[in-house]
Amino acid sequence: MRDFLCAMLIAILGGATLSAAPSSHETGLPPSKSILTVLCYHNIDIRSPKNSPYSVTSAQLTDELNALKAAGFDFVSLEQVQAFYASGKPLPSKSALITFDDGHENIYEHAYPILKKMNIPWLLFVFPTAIGGGHEKGFMNWDEVQQLNKEGVAIGSHSFDHPYLTRPGKEISTPEAYDAWLDKELIRSKRLIEDKLGSPVNAFASPFGALNNVVQQHIKNAGYSLAFNIFGSNNDALNNPLELNRIIVLSTHSPEMVVKKAEERPLHFTKEFPGSLQVYTGMLATAGFSLEGIDDYIPGSIQVLINGTRIETLKENGSSFMFDVPAPGRSKGYIVTVYARGRSGEIFSQSYYFIYATKKPDFLKLAPAKT
Ligand SMILES: [Zn+2]
């Protein structure tokens, strides 16, 4: 089955065509305003299927990394990002963290030499079922993951079996069974990777970016200090370290597009309705959000995209914005991405995500959304 969430993200990235902003080092922002962009790659030089949007070529990867460097980005390690969020240790004003999901063999073969040669720290998210299958299944084996880790590559958990954590199998029908299943995916994977590496695993990336507020709570309880989604915006000191945004880099992106997206500054909500990662049932006619620091943005510059499609009519009241909710598509998920233009011409963006369910799933113990 095609991944609808990823399809929506492609649409969002495709739709993000506001014109280029001056880069932040030109605008002389203080270090507390550092941007952290986290790029998410999957495959490098995949042989089959050809034209997979999730596989970039070695040349594309090299060009994108060089373009980020030329635009003033510093590549940072997972450790630096952890210290930034745990104790406020400053990050460079334009920081980029490079991540790879899934642990495909082609990453070891093709991406690793490039990153090593360019001396760029990176973070690899693996799931034990894949690495246990190793080369026969097209993945790295544990020896290779261990070797990378010894050479300084950070390893994170990408769950145990790579399921949609928001859609358990039919056998899971109670909140208790859902809790136990999430614990397996989140805690058992963490412990197994830690045992294999002999070092702690502190970062988590949810398969397919699938999240709800129960999954989010379990990520926290499992002891991860950083967790990453794929909602396509950037981060600063105000982002929740358990909800860090990543940008998926696709084969269709040019280095210029990657830099442009990486330079968008994060904006922040004081409130979203429905709340981020909330599952709501029943009719929901309108949704909306309130923006922090509304005076930082040029009046009238706020734009809202839902799953990549622009909302034409936005009801504005001070710092609050409301819009009609389109009918839920097959994905039943809504990624709301808000763009604004800052006073110096820079682009700001941020996304949040909520889910529509025709009825409250039995495995969830959620209060119904207030309407
Ligand atoms: Zn994955």
Percent of the chain with pLDDT over 70: 89
CA of 66 relative to ligand 1 center, distance in Å: 25
**Rounded distance between C-alpha atoms, residue 292 and residue 312, angstroms:** 22
How is domain 270-357 classified at the architecture level of CATH? Sandwich (2.60)
CA of 368 relative to ligand 1 center, distance in Å: 30
Domain with CATH 2.60.40.1220 in the chain: 270-357
CA of 100 relative to ligand 1 center, distance in Å: 9
Task: Please report the pLDDT score of residue 331 as a whole number.
Answer: 65
CA of 38 relative to ligand 1 center, distance in Å: 15
CATH of domain 4-264: 3.20.20.370
- The yes-or-no verdict on residue 221 having pLDDT over 90 is yes
- The yes-or-no verdict on residue 175 having pLDDT over 80 is yes
**Rounded distance between C-alpha atoms, residue 184 and residue 274, angstroms:** 29
- The yes-or-no verdict on residue 1 having pLDDT over 60 is no
Percent of the chain with pLDDT over 90: 73
Q: What angle do CA 147, 148, 153 make, to 5 degrees?
A: 145
Task: Please report the pLDDT score of residue 99 as a whole number.
Answer: 98
Q: pTM here?
A: 0.89
Task: Summarize the confidence of residues 38-60 as an average pLDDT.
Answer: 90
CA of 125 relative to ligand 1 center, distance in Å: 8
CA of 104 relative to ligand 1 center, distance in Å: 10
CA of 54 relative to ligand 1 center, distance in Å: 11
Task: Please report the pLDDT score of residue 44 as a whole number.
Answer: 93
CA of 4 relative to ligand 1 center, distance in Å: 13
- The yes-or-no verdict on residue 24 having pLDDT over 50 is no
Average pLDDT, the chain: 88
Q: How confident is the model at residue 19 (pLDDT cuts 50, 70, 90)?
A: very low
CA of 48 relative to ligand 1 center, distance in Å: 17
Parallel, antiparallel, or unpaired: how do β-strands 347-357 and 279-281 relate?
parallel
| CB 262, CB 247: distance < 8 Å | yes
Between 262 and 45, name the one with better pLDDT. Answer: 262
Between 349 and 354, name the one with better pLDDT. Answer: 349
CA of 30 relative to ligand 1 center, distance in Å: 35
**What digits encode the pLDDT tens for the residues 145-165?**
999 999 999 999 999 999 999
Task: Please report the pLDDT score of residue 230 as a whole number.
Answer: 93
Task: Please report the pLDDT score of residue 280 as a whole number.
Answer: 80
Task: Please report the pLDDT score of residue 177 as a whole number.
Answer: 93
Domain with CATH 3.20.20.370 in the chain: 4-264
Q: How confident is the model at residue 278 (pLDDT cuts 50, 70, 90)?
A: confident
* 178: CB partners within 8 A, 6+ apart: 168, 172, 214, 363, 364
CA of 158 relative to ligand 1 center, distance in Å: 7
- The yes-or-no verdict on residue 50 having pLDDT over 70 is yes
Task: Summarize the confidence of residues 216-237 as an average pLDDT.
Answer: 95
CA of 101 relative to ligand 1 center, distance in Å: 5
Residue 157 phi/psi, 5° resolution? -95, 140
- Nearest of 85, 91, 98 to residue 124 by alpha carbon: 98
Between 371 and 189, name the one with better pLDDT. Answer: 189
Task: Please report the pLDDT score of residue 310 as a whole number.
Answer: 94
Task: Summarize the confidence of residues 108-133 as an average pLDDT.
Answer: 97
Between 186 and 28, name the one with better pLDDT. Answer: 186
Partners of 334 in the β-ladder: 354
CA separation, residue 276 to residues 58, 289, 352 (Å): 36, 10, 5
- The yes-or-no verdict on residue 246 having pLDDT over 90 is yes
Task: Please report the pLDDT score of residue 11 as a whole number.
Answer: 42
Task: Please report the pLDDT score of residue 332 as a whole number.
Answer: 77
Task: Please report the pLDDT score of residue 67 as a whole number.
Answer: 98
**What digits encode the pLDDT tens for the residues 287-337?**
999 999 999 999 999 999 998 899 999 999 999 999 998 887 766 788 899
- The yes-or-no verdict on residue 346 having pLDDT over 60 is yes
Longest dimension (CA), the chain: 58
CA of 207 relative to ligand 1 center, distance in Å: 5
